[in-house]
A and B are shown apart, each in its own frame.
Chain A
């Protein structure tokens, strides 16, 4: 889109002009507008309570910089960025809420792999759960994202088991051909 102030072009989803810094005609951040973010309780659970269940060893622990922002959050555990509930997040951001996303795996690669190379319907189910994991992350509902992540993992395991069976069938067939052909 073009900046109404200086005419420079910016990427379509930029909130502020990269050249002059003026706000662009705001394309609202979609997930927060379509569905309200999770209740504040969820933020409190992940931000303040040290006894809250920690989802993953890979949970944001090390300081990191996003490619799309300069914001770094050096923290031991995930701390929600200081954005008031309902407020439009400040650009440029590393995410819809201005901080790094939590590292909740969605096992998407397993889903694609098994959907396209093997075992309907387990792979397709995996992809659906993967989409739901990231959808929940985008809404800030990390607890639900964790649950869907577990489901995605379960289906990835199911499809992996089916893959083993399928490969075993092929191997037996190939060996059988080898024996009968010799």
Chain B
């Protein structure tokens, strides 16, 4: 998982060609703009979280997820709303407790978001990162395993449940 995600960020020495497309000079400028936009957006979201006291409503409310309600099972995304809200309030441990895999994946998703924001400014200047297929399969396996384990009602695995 970690290697797969590192791969998705760094381009992965030896496993692939690194970035696909993009242009080095223009890409850096667009990425800078995308980063600034992302920081502004993040600041707005954190400010909104601090201003509007929805935390208790979201964390203490009933289960709304259709999958959870219809099957009773914990899917890999279960707890991610709670993890997101906890993260918005700076509660990293709370986020990890709610959905560890989603929390661990979020830095890499943030990088993807920043790159996507850069593409708003200069489409085509920011290249995509090639992830070798074996790492995507590994990620798939991790998610499936995670889903099975967090549904087991015994001591070590209940830590994976929200």
Contact = CB atoms under 8 A, between A and B. Distances in A.
Nearest to B14: A13
Given A113-B109, A169-B64, A131 B136 contact: yes
A101 B11 contact: no
A27 to B, nearest CB: 10
B77 A100 contact: no
Interface string A80-120: 00000000000001110000111101101100111111111
Contacts of A132: 133
Contacts of A13: 14-15
Nearest to A116: B102
Given A115-B77, A117-B77, A118-B77, A66 B102 contact: no
B21 A64 contact: yes
Contacts of A173: 61, 64
Contacts of B143: 115-116, 124, 127
Interface residues of B, number: 49
Contacts of B84: 117
Contacts of B131: 106, 108, 134
Contact of B17 (A11, A62, A66, A108): A66
Given A12-B14, A127-B140, A100 B20 contact: yes
Nearest to B108: A112
Interface in B79-93: 80-81, 84
B20 A108 contact: no
B133 A131 contact: yes
Q: Which of B18, B19, B20, B61 has most A Cβ within 10 Å?
A: B20
Nearest to B111: A109
A170 B144 CA distance: 26
B57 interface: yes
Contacts of A130: 136
Interface of B: 8, 11, 13-23, 54, 57-58, 61, 64-67, 75-77, 80-81, 84, 99, 101-102, 105, 108-109, 112, 116, 124, 127-128, 130-133, 136-137, 139-140, 143-144, 147
Q: Which 6 residue pairs of A and B lie closest in terms of their CB atoms, listed nearest first?
A: A131-B136, A135-B133, A120-B75, A134-B133, A13-B14, A94-B17
Interface of A: 11-14, 57-58, 60, 62, 64, 66-69, 93-95, 100-103, 105-106, 108-109, 112-120, 123-124, 127-128, 130-135, 137-138, 166, 169-170, 173-174, 177-178
